[in-house]
Amino acid sequence: MARELEELTANYTSKFWMKREDGVSEPDNWTKDHPAGEDCASLGHKMGETDFWTDAFCFQEKRFKMKPSVFYGKAERRAKMYRVQVVIPSHESEDKLGISDEEYERQAELGLVDSEDEETDSSLSMKLSAQETKSKLMAIEFKELTVNYNRVEEGLRTKDTMERELEERMANYTRVREQLSFYEAFAAQSLNCNMSLTAWGGKLYVFSSDKLNWTNSRDVCVSKGADLVTITSQSEQDFLVSKVSETHWIGLNDLDTEGHWVWVNNQTLTDTRVQFWHRRQYGPREPDNWKQEDPSGENCASLGNWEGYFNKWFDQSCKEQKKFICEKN
């Protein structure tokens, strides 16, 4: 099959080679000007002949034209089977190449050249079609990438939101469970004193009915999984005041260092940033560490005193018997 195609190609193209009067015909592979020889074909010769083919030095600069194939019908199918591609110069203008209209039409019929309009239109059409197709594909791909990116970004935002909500719900669940456990323990255990339970601001508060000194009051609170109340805001102060009608122990003391008041959770007044000490119009202000009744001084704080003033704090002797307030966070 290969030999048949080679012979077909040779027979089809041999009549266009230039034949000189001295009997030497193209191709002659002339090596005097270029030792590498002449291995490429061109239409025309540097001496002016333009109606025939000549072999020429491949690195010589010439005008050129590319065609997919010069075969048609059965020969074309065979050429495509062997991936044959022939490159030949094309007709540009009669002034440039000297090809007559009759010769150009004859070569065009054989498929050796195309008209400039036909070739230009075909080439531009192919280029524009390829460019349009590429642009459309790129636009589709970009749109798909944008949609995928937005979907992934939305998924990540949803995931972050769900994780935050889960963390908050777990924290709320833990807090409620602890409060429920405290309530169950409070209800189940027998107490040495009567107590009432109420909730406010996410906390549980126990208000005693019986009176104990400050140390024993705290022991009762701790035994129930709580501690004496720590007041950290004006709103909490107002809530507690609304629930009492006499003085109650709170979890503030300066037992370790005189004048350095600390809550039972080790927070200082500087940490909580609120103080509600009683200030008399005349006489010393609270805390005054009064020692006439207890030589050890007044080292525990209470909400109100025997005179009332339940919306203020007083330092009192830790030995006094008072009601107390427990708190469970």
pLDDT digits (tens, 9 = 90+) for 157-208: 888 888 888 888 888 878 777 767 666 666 655 444 467 788 888 888 999 9
Range of the domain at 178: 117-188
Residues 243 and 171 reside in one and the same domain: no
Do residues 323 and 195 share a domain?
yes
CB 285 within 8 A of CB 279: yes
pLDDT confidence of 78, banded at 50, 70, 90? very low
What's the CATH code of the domain at 201? 3.10.100.10
CA–CA gap between residue 279 and residue 295 (Å, rounded): 23
The rounded distance, in Å, linking the Cα atoms of 95 and 229 is 111
Mean of the per-residue pLDDT values of the chain? 77
Q: What is the pLDDT of residue 91?
A: 40
Last residue of a domain, one of 188, 205, 238: 188
Do 38 and 142 reside in the same domain of the chain?
A: no
Which of 188, 213, 240 is at the close of a domain? 188
Q: Are residues 143 and 252 in the same domain?
A: no
Better-scored residue on pLDDT, 124 or 90: 124
266-286, pLDDT tens digit by residue? 999 999 999 999 998 887 899
User: Is the domain of 231 the same as that of 296?
Assistant: yes
Token couple for 120? 């230009």
**Which of residues 88, 114, 140 is at a domain's end?**
114
Percent of the chain with pLDDT over 70: 70
CA-based radius of gyration for the chain: 54
Question: What is the b/e burial string over 295-314, where b = at least 16 CB atoms within 10 angstroms of the residue's CB?
Answer: eebbbbbbbbbeeeebebbb
Q: Are residues 179 and 297 in the same domain?
A: no
Residue 268 carries which DSSP code?
A: B
Same domain, 22 and 106: yes
Lowest mean pLDDT among 101-115, 166-180, 216-230: 101-115
Separation of alpha carbons 296 and 318, rounded Å? 9
Residue 314, strand partner residues:
302
**pLDDT at residue number 132:** 81
> Are 56 and 41 contacting, i.e. CB atoms less than 8 angstroms apart?
yes
Same domain, 207 and 182: no
Number of domains forming the structure of the chain:
3
Same domain, residue pair 38 and 59: yes
